Structure 1
Amino acid sequence: MAAAAAAQSPAERFATYEEYLESQVTAQDLYYLESEAVARQLVELGFRGSGDVLRREDFEARVQEAAGLPAPVSKKSLASAGKELKDNFLRALAEREEANRTGRISSIIFIRDRNSRRQEVSAYIDYAHRLTTDDFEVYFSGKKRLFPRSTDLSFYNWDRNVSTSNSSPNYQVSAENACGLLFKNKSDRKIINVDPKAYPGDNTTRTPIQTDLYLHVVIYDHILRRGA
């Protein structure tokens, strides 16, 4: 039994990070420090215990991995971290960034605006995919705007009557059917219906965003249920 316990990782042996720290606190530590909280803190800082202590974020990442869940994203690694977000649209993106990066939510962003030629264009954007291809720090800092592209899930130039559709790593596009434009999530195979008069689909919410940056913005948040 002792050998089996030793073979387990700390994330499997302990329910919380605090329990993991307490496992390295000795009776002698408690005698001299007279405080479990201080003793745990000294273990976390590397002044007590084995000297090779997991950081809290590493421990939690291993717990997530052991549970078959996506690892959490460090707040410092988020493109929106530390940015002064002055518009509702940027705040909405920031609220969804971590969940889209970890795969808990798959958001589709609808943007309608005018391009540099004053032509009206719109697109449905796979947010999670764009997070992997674009530098979002320039968007969150206000240096550039997230804008429709012909390579997005669905793009339309209203002045030229030109449209394109492209599947992404997360969505398959269905543009020609009686229900209008549909997106099938490749993970759980659920359908997202972007018709504002229709039900958006299971586990999906439709949120219009009031913004000064674009003519029209709507975000569709699809919650991914693993094993669905």
Structure 2
Amino acid sequence: MENSSVGRFYNTLTKFKVYEDYLDSKVTPLDLFYLQSRELARKLVEHGHKGPVLSRQDFQERKAAAQAKPSGVFYSCSRAVILASAGKELKDNFLKALAEREEANRSGKMTDGNKIHTVSSRSGPSPNPTRAKRLNPFPKTTQLQSIIFIRDYNPLGQEVSGYIDYAHRLKTQDFEPYFSERKRLMPGRSDLCYYNWRTQVSSSNSSSNFQVVYDDPGGLLFRNKKDKKILNLDPWSGPGEASSRTLLQSDLYVHVVLFDHAVRAV
């Protein structure tokens, strides 16, 4: 399976011995010709005049993550991909749950190393989020695709909620700042569904893994694009065949739920 851009980005950092080498990689011969000073050219890069750049602290942290112990690495097509959660001491239940699912959602497959806790809801409200959950109920011959529901407040104090295709986001975003709690994972207008309760702005988009179903009388649904099975979001109904719904108690968010869908490998 193709490596994610995040994995390639992490691996690239390991080729730089020190932060100055990283800055030098963004300095061009033309810069040196006009500035006549490598140190000044580095300063311009560091201050963002040549485009987005990592701070010294971010560089050191991400390079350390890229050089993390082997347990933080999985292999796809014989190439190493670094997990954004590798080496992190996670305390929040939500971040722990994301870390449990990261490898499976990146690779698309369950492995012996995946230890995923889930609650499979049949009907009625979700179980107590502090109650013990089942460990990895999906067979290893399946591919895991997870959806994240988040309800919380944005920096403007507006309540927003939405559904995020975890596997898709992992391919398009660097999750290391989320696992380090330097940034907060929030739904956006490009995700599966987004709603701002203050402005009443809403959006929905099908992803590479799920199609949004709008016209069902029972409410919003997601259809998996690979096996065509339906994921039901209604907490009073079962999540659907080969799916589970897990409500998590989080100190970082008002309300978070994880939906796991297992696609049987052919």
2-side partners of 1:185 and 1:218: how far apart?
18
- Counterpart of 1:137? 176
Structure ranking higher on relative contact order (CA contacts 8 Å, 6+ apart)? 2
1:125 equivalent among 164, 179, 200? 164
Q: Judging changes above 3 Å, is the alpha-carbon distance between structure 1 residues 201 and 136 closer, same or farther for their aligned structure 2 residues?
A: same
Q: Does 1:79 align with 2:118?
A: no
Partner-residue secondary structure (3-state), 1:200:
coil
Task: Show structure 1 runs of 5+ residues with no match.
Answer: 1-56, 62-69
- Counterpart of 1:16? none
Q: Judging changes above 3 Å, is the alpha-carbon distance between structure 1 residues 86 and 72 closer, same or farther for their aligned structure 2 residues?
A: farther
1:106–1:222: 8 Å Cα contact kept in structure 2?
Answer: yes
- Counterpart of 2:192? 153
Task: Show structure 2 runs of 5+ residues with no match.
Answer: 1-70, 109-142
Q: Judging changes above 3 Å, is the alpha-carbon distance between structure 1 residues 152 and 73 closer, same or farther for their aligned structure 2 residues?
A: farther
Deviation of residue 196 (structure 1)?
0.7
Q: Does 1:162 align with 2:167?
A: no
Superposed CA deviations along residues 116-170 of structure 1, whole A, max 9, x for unmatched, are 1111100100000000011011111111111110111010111222211100000
Q: Judging changes above 3 Å, is the alpha-carbon distance between structure 1 residues 211 and 121 closer, same or farther for their aligned structure 2 residues?
A: same
Higher Rg of the two aligned structures:
1
Q: Judging changes above 3 Å, is the alpha-carbon distance between structure 1 residues 73 and 193 closer, same or farther for their aligned structure 2 residues?
A: farther
2-side partners of 1:101 and 1:149: how far apart?
20
Aligned residues: 161
1:73–1:101: 8 Å Cα contact kept in structure 2?
Answer: no
- Structure 1 letter corresponding to 2:245: R
Larger helix percent: 1
Deviation of residue 192 (structure 1)?
0.3
Runs of 4+ residues deviating >3 angstroms: 70-74
Superposed CA deviations along residues 56-106 of structure 1, whole A, max 9, x for unmatched, are x9xx96xxxxxxxx76985x7111110111211110000000111111210
Q: Judging changes above 3 Å, is the alpha-carbon distance between structure 1 residues 72 and 105 closer, same or farther for their aligned structure 2 residues?
A: farther
- Structure 2 letter corresponding to 1:134: Q
- The two structures, once aligned, show a CA RMSD in angstroms of 2.2
- Structure 2 letter corresponding to 1:95: E
| TM-score, normalised via structure 1 length | 0.66
